Amino acid sequence: MSSPNFYSPHRAEVSAPAAKPSERLRVCELSHAFQAADGDSVPIFDRLDFSVGSGEIVSIVGRSGAGKSTLFNLISGLLTPQSGRVEVGRRADGGEGRIAYMLQKDLLLPWRTVLENAVLGIELYRKVRREDIERARQMLARYGLDSFADAHPHALSGGMRQRVALTRTLLVDPTLVLLDEPFSALDYETRLTLEDDVMELRKQNGTSVILVTHDIEEAIAMSDRVILLGGRPACIEDNIDVRLSTSGPRTAVSAREAPEFRAYHSRIWNGLRGHSIQHAGASA
Partner 1 sequence: MSDVAISSTVTRKRAASGRSKTLGTTGIVVAIVVAIVAGWQLAVTLGWVNGRLFGSPEGIYRAAVLGLSPQGTLVPDTLATLFETLMGLVVGSGLGIGLGLLLWFVPRVSGVAEGLSVILNSIPKIALGPLIVIWFGSDMASKVWLAGISTFAVAMISACAAAREVDQDLLNLFRSFKAKPGMIFSKLIVPGALPWIFSTLRVNIGFALIGSVVGEYIASQAGVGHEVFVAGSLFDLNTVWLGIIVLTLMASILSWIVQLTEAKVITWKRKR
Round to whole Å and give the CA distance between 100 and 175. Answer: 8
Q: Is 120 in the site for partner 1 (CB under 8 A)?
A: yes
Q: What are phi and psi of 133, to 5 degrees?
A: -60, -45
Counting contacts by CB under 8 A, is residue 129 touching partner 1? no
Among 21, 29, 95, 105, binds partner 1 (CB under 8 A): 105
3 binds partner 1 (CB under 8 A): yes
By CB under 8 A, is residue 188 in contact with partner 1? no
- Minimum gap (Å) between residue 151 Cβ and partner 1: 9
Residues 256, 246, 253: CA angle, nearest 5 degrees? 35
Closer residue to partner 1 (CB): 133 or 244: 133
Phi and psi angles of residue 45, each rounded to the nearest 5 degrees, phi first: -130, 145
Q: How far apart are alpha carbons 156 and 143 in whole angstroms?
A: 13
Half-sphere exposure of 204 (CA within 13 A, CB side): 10
DSSP 198-248: HHHHHHHH--EEEEEES-HHHHHHH-SEEEEEETTTBEEEEEEE-----SS
Confirm or reject binding of residue 155 to partner 1 (CB under 8 A): yes
Give the count of residues interacting with partner 1 (CB under 8 A): 30
Min dist. Cβ of residue 105 to partner 1 (A): 6
- Quick one: 68 or 275, whose CB is closer to partner 1? 68
By the rule CB under 8 A, 80 interacts with partner 1: no
What residues contact 8, with CB distance under 8 A and at least 6 apart? 77, 78, 79, 80
Candidate ranges 18-26, 85-93, 147-155, 215-223; the one touching partner 1 (CB under 8 A):
147-155
Report the residue number, 87 or 106, with the smaller CB distance to partner 1: 106
Among residues 103, 149, 236, 244, the one that binds partner 1 under rule CB under 8 A: 103
Question: Cα–Cα distance between 242 and 220 in angstroms, integer?
Answer: 7
Does 125 engage in binding with partner 1 (CB under 8 A)? Answer: yes
182 binds partner 1, rule: CB under 8 A: no
Nearer to partner 1, 101 or 183 (CB): 101
* 111 in contact with partner 1 (CB under 8 A): yes
The SS3 assignment for 123 reads helix
Q: CB under 8 Å to 11, separation ≥6 — which residues?
A: 77, 80, 81, 85, 86, 87
Do strands 225-230 and 235-241 pair parallel, antiparallel, or not at all (unpaired)?
Answer: antiparallel
Pick the binder of partner 1 from 7, 131, 259, 280 (CB under 8 A).
Answer: 7
Residue 236 interacting with partner 1 (CB under 8 A): no
Using CB under 8 A, list all residues that contact partner 1.
Answer: 1, 3-5, 7, 76-78, 99-101, 103, 105, 107, 109-112, 120-121, 123-125, 152-157, 172
